[in-house]
Amino acid sequence: MAKLLSLACFRNEGWHNLSARSHYPSMPSFPKSEPGTSTVEEPSKVTALFSVHGMTCSACAGSVEKSIKRLHGIHEAVVDVLHNRARVIFHPSFVNEEAICEAIEDAGFDAALLTDVTNENTIQVCRIQIKGMTCTSCSTAVESALKALSGVVGAQVALATEEAQVHYNPNIITHSQILEAVDEAGFEATLISSSEDLSKIDLHVEGDLTNNDMIKLVEDSLRSLPGVLELHTNLEFNKISLSYKADITGPRDFINVIVETSNGNLKAKIFPSEGGRRDAHRKKEIKSYYKSFLWSLVFTVPVFLTSMVFMYIPGIKNLLDSKIVKMLTIGEVIRWVLATPVQFIFGWRFYTGAYKSLRRGSANMDVLIALGTNAAYFYSVYSVLRAATSKVFEGTDFFETSAMLISFILLGKYLEVLAKGKTSNAIAKLMNLTPDTAILLSLDGEGNVVGEEEIDSRLVQKNDVIKIIPGAKVASDGLVVWGQSHVNESMITGEARPVSKRKDDTVIGGTLNENGVLHVKATKVGSESALSQIVRLVESAQMAKAPVQKFADRISKYFVPLVILISFSTWLAWFLAGKYNAYPKSWIPSSMDSFELALQFGISVMVIACPCALGLATPTAVMVGTGVGASQGVLIKGGQALESAHKVNCIVFDKTGTLTIGKPVIVNTKLLTKMVLREFYEIVAAAEVNSEHPLAKAVVEYAKKFKDEENPSWPEARDFISITGHGVKATVRNKEIMVGNKGLMVDHNIAIPAIAEDLLAEAENMAQTGILVSINGEVAGVLAISDPLKPGAQEVISILKSMKIRSIMVTGDNWGTANSIAREVGIEDVIAEAKPDQKADKVKNLQASGYTVAMVGDGINDSPALVAADVGMAIGAGTDIAIEAADIVLMKSNLEDVITAIDLSRKTLFRIRLNYVWALGYNLLGIPIAAGVLFPSTGFRLPPWIAGAAMAASSVSVVCCSLLLKYYKRPKKLNSLDIGAILIETSSDPLIIHDD
C-alpha cells in the first residue's frame, strides 16, 4: 500500500494528538500549518507519469523507485521496467515534476515527464478475479496485457489468489474494457470490486418481474430517494444495483421502498457478500478438479492394469495379446479406447490453457503437459495403426503414460487448489467476524427505547442504534450511547485483555461483548468499517509482490522454452546414441526399441519440470505471513514491507505515544507570583483549550479540578496563536498569556528567573516536561508534566540489543527530558528538539551510513520519517485504521510487536527461501534424473507417469511449506515481559513560591 506524507502543526514532538484509549492508529493526511492557525487542511495529491530510459532489470527499477521515494512529499512511486516508465503520486506543495526528474537522473537514468499532472481523485482501483492462470508466466502475461492498456497506470496480478488489482483513469478506460483485455489475453475475468463500490449495494429481488410498469415504478421510487446516485437493473439475474451516499440513506430504505411500492408483490434481500462469492468460486474449482480426477481415475486404472499388471498373469495376458487385425491386439484396443477420453475430455483444460498461452506468445505449464501427453498418446496411436496394417510390426504403446500423467497432474492440481485455499484463511476468518444479525432499537423523540427488531447486520445504516447483548458480536463500528461492559477485541487487534467500554467509548464491529448490555450508535458501516478496511489492507498486502518474487518472474520467462529445448535435446541424444550403437543393446527394455526409450526420456524431462512451484514460492508465503501477522495485531502492508523488515538493523523510536503511553498528566505546579491557584489555572486553561496538543489537553483536564460546576465555561481567549514547536499565545482577561517551552519565552524576550531554570532542570532530570507560563511578560509559573514509559519498553530495547539491532530515540522534546527517558529505557543515542523534517533527515543520514532503518512512531508528526524509513511502523494510537504513511501497523500499541513484526518477517523470508530450495532444487535434480543421467551406471530411469506425479507433488510441497507459517509463535522472550500497571503520582499540594 502506498505511503502518504502527513505533517501536523504541533509545537514539539512531545505534544502529539493522541487519545487516552487504546484504538486504531490514525494517520491524518495534512501538511504542516502556518503559525497562528489552529486548523489544517488536507493537501491535494497529483499523479504524473515519467518515461525512464536506461533500465535493464528489476534492480534498476528498484534504484529508481528508491530515489523517488527519498524525496519529501512523495505519496507513491511505481516503476515499470518492462515499459520504461514510472508513475508517481505526490504533494505539489512539497515537490514538483522537475525535482522528481532530477532524482531519477541522479540515480543514473534518463527521465522525462510523459503526461500532464492529474488529480489523484480521478484514479480508481478495481479488483478482478482471473480464472485459468496456472503458473508465473500466465500472471506475467496478464500483468503485461493490463499495463499496456491506455489509461491503466498500474496493475498487480497475484497467482496465488488468482486476482488482479488495477489502478486506472476512468476518464480514459472503464473496468469493462479492462475485463475484455483479460479475456482477450486468454483468461476468464470477473469484476470483484471497484472504487465505485464504496457506497454500492446489490439487491436480489424476488417476485413477479414480468410487470414492466411495476419495475419502472420501483426504479423511479428508488431514484427519488435522497442520497441515491445511480441505479442499474438486471432482470436476468433479478438484481438491482444502487450507488448511494451512506450518510443519507442505506439498504434498509431500499428494501422498504421496493416492498411498499410493489404492494408486497416484490421482496428484496442483499446479494451474498464478496467473501461468499469468492468462497463459492474456490469450492467450485476444488469440486471441478476433484470430479475430473475421479473420472480420470475410472478410465486410467484399467489402462494401468492392462499394461502393467495383467501382462504378468498368464491367462489374462494371452487374452490381451490376442490379435484382432493383423498385429493389432485386444489389449492395445482397450487401452486406446480408455485413454482417449482421459486425453481429450479430462485433459481438455490443458489443451485450452496451452492454446491461450501460445496465442499470446508465451509458454506455461499447460504447454509442457500438452506436449508430453500428446507425444505419448499420438506415438501410441501411430503404433496401434501401424500394427493394424502390418503383419510383422509389434509396436509398443504408451497409452498408460498419457492417461496416468493427466490423472496425477489433476490430483496435484486438486491438492494445490485445496492448499492454496487455506493460505487465505486469515481473510476468511476476518470476514466471518461480522455477526449475521443485529438488534435494531427504535427510539422516541427523547431517546427512549420504544421497540427492537432483529435484522440482517448488513442492513445496519449510519446513526442506527443497535443493542449488543452479553455474548454477542458488535454489528458495526460505533459509539456507546448507553450501558457499560467489557469487550474482547482480540480478534481484531490481537489484544488479549478485554477492554472496558462505557458511554462515549468507541467499539469495533466484529468484537465480542463479554458482559453487560450496550446500546451503540453506528458510525461506520459496510466498507467504511474498521474490519472492512483491515480486510482490504490484508488483501492488498497479499496482492503486492515482494521484491524476491522478481527472481521467479525472470526465470519464468525462459523456463518453459528452456525445458522444451532440454527435452528435445534429451530425446535426440538418446535416439542418436541408440541408432549409432553408442550404448549396449541390453540397456533397451524388452518391451521397446531405442526410439521408444529415447521418447520416454524426452517425455519425462518435459513433464517433471514444474514452473508452478517457482511461481507459488513467494506469494503463498506472503499470504500466510501477512494473515498470521493480522491475527497477532501486526498489519503488514505487502511483500515489500515483509521483505524489508527482516533486514532492519537500526530502529528509530519516537518518544511520546511510542516509548511513552502518550497520555501526559500534570504532576506538579510551581507558582512564582501571588495568585490564587484557581485563577492561575483558569487563565492558563482558557489559553490552552483552543489547542489540540496532548500537553494542552493535560493542562485543561487538570484545570477542571478547580472549576466551578455552576460555571463550566472558560474565560474568553482573544488573539489566540499556536506557535509550532513552542506553545500558545493569547489574551485572557486583558492579560497577555503565553504557555510553552523555554524557546517561546526567549523568542519573546521574557526573562527566565534562576528558580524557574532550576525547576525546569529538576523536571527534566525526572523525565518530566517543564512548561513555562508567563503573564504580561513575566514568568508566573512552571508546570511539570509526566508521560510515563510504556510497560515493557525497557525489556523491548534490551531484546533488540540482543538481536544486534541499534535503537535511537528522536523527539521534539527538550534535551533534558529526552536524555532522562533514554537513560530509563536503555537507549544510548538520542536526538532531541527535532522537528518532523529533521526526523526524516536523521533517518536518511542513517541509511546513507549503511543501515536498514525502521521508524516507529504514532504516525502524526512522524509521517515524514515513516515515509523516509526502509520500514515505517505505526503505533496504533489513533481512531482510524485507514493509515497510509506506515508499512506496518502495530494495532495493539505494544512495543513488543516491533519485535514480533521483525521476527515474523525473518520467519517468512526463511520460508520463501526454503520454497525456492524446494522448487529450484527439485527441478535442478529432477530434470537430469529424468533425462537419464543415472541410467548408464545404475539402470534407473524415471517413467513419465512418475515424473508427472513428482511435478504435481512439487507444487503441493511448496504450498504446504508456506502453510507451516500458520503455526508461527512470537519469540519466547516476549512471553516473559512483565506488563504491569502504570502508576502516575501527582502532587495534590502544589508548591507556591512568591517571587517578591
- Is 1 a member of any domain? no
Residue 25 has pLDDT above 50, yes or no: no
What is the CA angle 206-532-166, rounded to 5?
Answer: 90
User: Beta strands of 538-637 (E only): which ranges?
Assistant: 634-636
pLDDT in tens, 765-775: 777 888 899 98
pLDDT of residue 296: 92
Q: Are residue 394 and residue 280 in the same domain, yes or no?
A: yes
- Are 826 and 930 in the same domain? no
Helix/strand/coil for 481: strand
| pLDDT for position 196 | 52
The yes-or-no verdict on residue 34 having pLDDT over 50 is: no
Per residue, the 3-state secondary structure of 438-468, as one string, reads EEEEEECCCCCEEEEEEEEHHHCCCCCEEEE
CB 8 within 8 A of CB 738: no
Instruction: Note the pLDDT tens digit of each residue in 816-875.
Output: 778 888 888 888 888 887 776 778 888 888 888 889 998 888 755 677 777 788 888 887
Instruction: Average the pLDDT over 241-260 and give the result.
Output: 80
Task: Judge if 736 and 695 occupy the same domain.
Answer: yes
From CA 418, how far away is CA 413, in angstroms rounded? 8
Q: Is the pLDDT of residue 557 over 60?
A: yes
Assess whether 922 and 911 both reside in one domain.
yes
Average pLDDT, the chain: 78
Q: In what order do the strands lie in the sheet with 888-890?
A: 634-636, 888-890, 871-875, 853-857, 650-653, 806-810, 829-831
Cell for 609? Answer: 519440470
The pLDDT, as a whole number, for residue 707 is 75
Residue 18 lies in a domain: no
> pLDDT exceeding 70 applies to what percent of the chain?
83
Question: What size, in residues, is the chain?
Answer: 996
What per-residue confidence (pLDDT) applies to 169? 79
- Please give the pLDDT value at position 342: 92
Measured CA angle at 206 (ends 205, 211), to 5 deg: 85
Q: What is the mean pLDDT of residues 34-57?
A: 59
Where residue 690 falls among pLDDT bands split at 50, 70, 90?
Answer: confident
Spatial separation of the C-alpha atoms in residues 510 and 275, rounded to whole Å = 15
Contacts of 102 (CB under 8 A, 6+ apart): none
Q: Which of 25-39, 122-136, 173-187, 699-713 has the highest mean pLDDT?
A: 173-187
CA 80 to chain centre: 21
Dmax (CA) of the chain:
130
Among 2-11, 506-515, 708-717, name the most confident range.
506-515
User: How far is it, in rounded angstroms, from Cα 889 to Cα 871?
Assistant: 11
Confidence (pLDDT) at 545: 64
Same domain as 842, residue 803: yes
Whole-angstrom Cα distance, residue 321 to residue 395? 12
Last residue of a domain, one of 134, 165, 194: 194
Clarify whether residues 733 and 760 are in a common domain: yes
The pLDDT-based confidence of 35 (bands split at 50, 70, 90) is very low
Q: Which cell goes with 438?
A: 443485529
Question: Number of C-alpha atoms within 13 angstroms, CB side, residue 869?
Answer: 32
Q: Label residue 824 exposed, middle or buried (CB < 10 Å: 0-12, 13-18, 19+).
A: middle
Question: For 866, how many CA atoms within 13 A lie in the half-sphere containing its CB?
Answer: 28
Domain's final residue, options 886, 904, 922 = 904
Phi, psi of 194 (to 5 degrees): -140, 175
Work out how many domains the chain is built from and give that number.
8
Question: What pairing do the DSSP bridges indicate for beta strands 437-443 and 465-468?
Answer: antiparallel
- Is the pLDDT score of 41 beyond 60? no
Mean pLDDT of 646-666: 83
State how far Cα 335 lies from the chain centre. 51
CB atoms within 10 A of CB 447: 10
The rounded radius of gyration (Å) of the Cα atoms in the chain is 34
Short-list 164, 155, 165, 160, CA closest to 136: 160
Residue 901 in contact with residue 887, Cβ under 8 Å?
no
Bridge partners (DSSP) of residue 781 are 671, 773
> Which grid coordinates belong to 244?
448511494
Question: Is the per-residue pLDDT at 43 higher than 60?
Answer: no
Q: Tell me, yes or no, whether 41 lies in a domain.
A: no
Per-residue pLDDT at 32? 36
Averaged pLDDT, 893-900: 84
pLDDT per position as a tens digit, 897-929: 889 889 999 998 898 888 888 888 888 888 899
pLDDT for the residue 345 = 92
Q: Where residue 4 falls among pLDDT bands split at 50, 70, 90?
A: very low
Residue 573 predicted with pLDDT over 90: yes
Q: What's the pLDDT tens digit per position in 350-372?
A: 888 888 777 767 777 788 788 88
Distance between CA atoms of residues 430 and 129, nearest Å? 20
How many CA atoms lie within 13 Å of 770's alpha carbon, on the beta-carbon side?
28
Task: pLDDT band for 294, please (50, 70, 90 cuts).
Answer: very high
Please return the burial class of 680, using the count of CB atoms within 10 Å of its CB with bins 0-12, 13-18 and 19+: buried
The pLDDT value recorded for residue 21 is: 30
pLDDT band at 15 (very low <50, low <70, confident <90, very high): very low
Is residue 848 a part of any domain in this protein?
yes
The cell for 151 is 489509461
Pairwise CA distance, residues 76 & 164, whole Å: 19
DSSP string across 626-684 = HHHHHHTTEEE-SHHHHHHHTT--EEEEPIIIIIB-S--EEEEEEE-SS--HHHHHHHH
Could you tell me if 453 and 407 lie in one domain?
no
Scored b (16 or more CB within 10 A) or e, 860-873 reads bbbbbbbbbbbbbb
Please state, in angstroms and rounded to a whole number, the distance separating the CA atoms of residues 367 and 350. Answer: 7
- What does the alpha-carbon distance between residue 406 and residue 742 come to, in Å, rounded to a whole number? 79
* CATH code at position 704: 3.40.1110.10
Alpha carbons 786 and 767: distance in angstroms, whole number:
7
In this prediction, residue 116 carries a pLDDT of 46
Percent of the chain with pLDDT over 90: 5
According to DSSP, the residues that pair with 522 across neighbouring strands are 478
Asked if 472 and 585 sit in the same domain, the reply is: no
| 411-442 tens-digit pLDDT | 877 877 776 666 566 566 666 677 878 888 88
Q: Kindly state the average pLDDT of the residues 748-776.
A: 86
Question: What per-residue confidence (pLDDT) applies to 69?
Answer: 84
* Grid coordinates belonging to 210: 414480468
Q: What is the pLDDT of residue 341?
A: 94
Last residue of one domain, picked from the residues 232, 251, 271:
271
Q: What is the CATH number of the domain that holds 188?
A: 3.30.70.100
Angle, nearest 10°, between helix axes 549-579 and 365-389?
A: 20
Residue in 711, 682, 713, 721 with CA at minimum distance from that of residue 699 = 682
99-136: b (≥16 Cβ within 10 Å) or e: ebbebbeebebebeeeeeeeebeebbbbbbbbebbbbb
User: Are residue 573 and residue 510 in the same domain, yes or no?
Assistant: no
> In which band, very low, low, confident or very high, does the pLDDT at 57 lie, cut at 50, 70 and 90?
low
- Residue 119 resides in a domain: no
Q: Which long-range contacts (CB under 8 A, 24 or more apart) does 493-496 make?
A: 493/22, 493/24, 493/633, 493/876, 493/891, 493/892, 494/631, 494/632, 494/633, 494/634, 494/891, 494/892, 495/22, 495/633, 495/891, 495/892
**Per the domain annotation, does 441 fall within a domain?**
yes
945 domain-assigned: yes
Which amino acid appears at position 557 of this protein?
Answer: K
For the segment 224-243, the average pLDDT, to the nearest whole number, is 79
Instruction: Give residue 925's domain range.
Output: 530-633+906-982
Query: Could you report how far apart the first and last alpha carbons of the chain are, in Å?
Result: 61
Sign of the alpha-carbon torsion through 663, 668, 671, 676:
positive
- Examine the domain organization and report whether 295 and 415 are in the same domain: yes
Please give the DSSP secondary-structure letter assigned to residue 967: G
**Residue 570 confidence (pLDDT):** 92
What are the cell numbers at 113?
A: 515527464
Is 279 in the active site? no
pLDDT over threshold 90, residue 337:
yes
CA-to-CA distance for 861 and 499, rounded, in angstroms?
A: 27
- Identify whether the C-beta of residue 862 lies closer than 8 Å to the C-beta of residue 890: no
Are 550 and 429 found together in one domain? no
Question: Can you give the CATH number for the domain in which 459 is found?
Answer: 2.70.150.10
**Residue 340: band (very low, low, confident or very high) from pLDDT cuts 50, 70, 90:** very high
Under a CB-based contact definition with an 8 Å cutoff, are residues 601 and 938 in contact? no
Give SS3 for 204. Answer: strand
Lowest mean pLDDT among 113-127, 206-220, 527-541: 113-127
569 pLDDT above the threshold of 90 = yes
- Report the pLDDT averaged over residues 12-25: 32
Residue 859 sits in a domain of what CATH number?
Answer: 3.40.50.1000
Q: What percent helix, strand, coil does the chain show, rounded to 5?
A: 45, 20, 30
- Please tell me which residue in 477, 505, 654, 813 is annotated as part of the active site: 654
Place of cell 454477542: 472
Q: Give the pLDDT score at 13.
A: 35
By CB atoms closer than 10 A (0-12, 13-18, 19+), residue 724 is: buried
- Mean pLDDT, residues 231-237: 77
- 156 occurs within a structural domain: yes
Residues 950 and 883 in one domain: no
Write the DSSP symbol of residue 736. Answer: E
Q: Which residues of 395-415 are buried (b: 16+ CB within 10 A; e: fewer)?
A: bbbbbbbbbbbbbbbbbbbbb
Residue 12's pLDDT is: 35
Confidence of residue 893 (pLDDT cuts 50, 70, 90): confident
CB-based contact 142:81 (threshold 8 Å) = no
